[in-house]
Amino acid sequence: AQKVTQAQTEISVVEKEDVTLDCVYETRDTTYYLFWYKQPPSGELVFLIRRNSFDEQNEISGRYSWNFQKSTSSFNFTITASQVVDSAVYFCALSLIQGAQKLVFGQGTRLTINP
Amino acid sequence: DARVTQTPRHKVTEMGQEVTMRCQPILGHNTVFWYRQTMMQGLELLAYFRNRAPLDDSGMPKDRFSAEMPDATLATLKIQPSEPRDSAVYFCASAAGNMNTEAFFGQGTRLTVV
């Protein structure tokens, strides 16, 4: 069975600070995808990124960056120079490459960016 | 702008009533998921379909929940009879059939059973 753990339930920072959201996963499969989704106060789930287990290269997209480390089974998400609009609940998720793309989600981290 | 459409967005119903939630997947997507979000359990998979056939509904209480895809453009999730513990946000998501795409979520149906 797969499991995703987001140990940080809530994080609160002041605008412009950098913040890292932690994600640790468990799976016996060697091929899988990892995801991050954002859930703003409006409630929808917005896809941010997908990485496959073969690709450990870090990725940067604007102020967002992701650090994938298979050795520690972690897929952490960093927001640089945070903004109030980044306030949301962030979910890390995993799906296996073999079979359907059903997602196993972590419990989410509620991020609050204060002005 | 392709998106998953869910109706209704909000539903308040009395215990014992039937509830039907609808989802229109993105055109061309052949995999449809139903997820439920609660404070206690977080996001959990209820069921999913590929090419309209149910592949896994092990996450769904069988006695009161049912999920169907009458056609490729409509997925339904029914609860009969509804109970207060069913109160949650129900999300539908769709994905293309190959392994290289992510799932796109609808805006959810917020269900309150009183």
DSSP lists the bridge partners of residue A38 as: A46, A90
Instruction: Express each pLDDT in B21-54 by its tens digit.
Output: 999 999 999 899 999 999 999 999 999 898 999 8
* pLDDT in the model for residue A58: 86
pLDDT for res B102: 82
pLDDT digits (tens, 9 = 90+) for A4-45: 999 999 999 999 999 999 999 999 988 899 999 999 998 899
Buried b (16+ CB within 10 A) or exposed e, B40-77: eebbebbbbbbeeeebbbeebeeeebbbebeeeeebeb
Q: Report residue A56 as tokens.
A: 């450990």
Quick: pLDDT tens for B11-20. Answer: 999 999 999 9
Burial of A85 (0-12, 13-18, 19+ CB in 10 A): exposed
Contacts of A4 in chain B (CB under 8 A): none
Nearest to residue A86, comparing CAs of A9, A12, A29, A34?
Answer: A12
CB distance A101–B103 less than 8 Å? yes
Chain A nearest CA to B19, separation (Å):
21
pLDDT single digits (tens) B59-105: 898 899 999 999 999 999 999 999 999 999 999 999 886 655 788 99
Share above pLDDT 90 across residues of chain B, in percent, rounded to a whole number: 76
The pLDDT value recorded for residue B98 is: 62
Q: How far is CA A53 from CA A46, B71, B109, in A?
A: 21, 34, 33
User: Are A35 and B102 inside 8 Å of each other by CB?
Assistant: yes
Give mean pLDDT, residues A94-105.
79
Strands B109-113, B88-95: pairing kind: antiparallel
Three-class SS of residue A84? helix
Are A101 and B99 within 8 A, CB to CB?
Answer: yes
* Distance between CA atoms of residues B34 and B76, nearest Å: 9
Nearest CA in chain A to B100: A97
Q: Phi, psi (5° rounding) for residue A5?
A: -120, 125
Least CB–CB distance from B107: residue in A37, A44, A102: A44
Instruction: Tell me the residues of A at the B interface, defined by beta carbons under 8 Å apart.
Output: 35, 37, 42-47, 50, 91, 97, 100-108
Distance from CA of A82 to the nearest CA of B (A): 25
Name residue A70's beta-bridge partners: none
Tens of pLDDT along A33-92?
A: 999 999 999 889 999 998 989 888 888 889 999 999 999 999 999 999 999 999 999 999
Q: Sign of the CA dihedral A12, A14, A16, A18? A: negative
What span, in angstroms and rounded, lies between the C-alpha atoms of B108 and B4?
A: 10
Q: What is the CA radius of gyration of chain A?
A: 14
Residue type at B114 in one-letter notation: V
Query: Does a cis peptide bond (omega within 30 degrees of 0) precede residue B81?
Result: yes
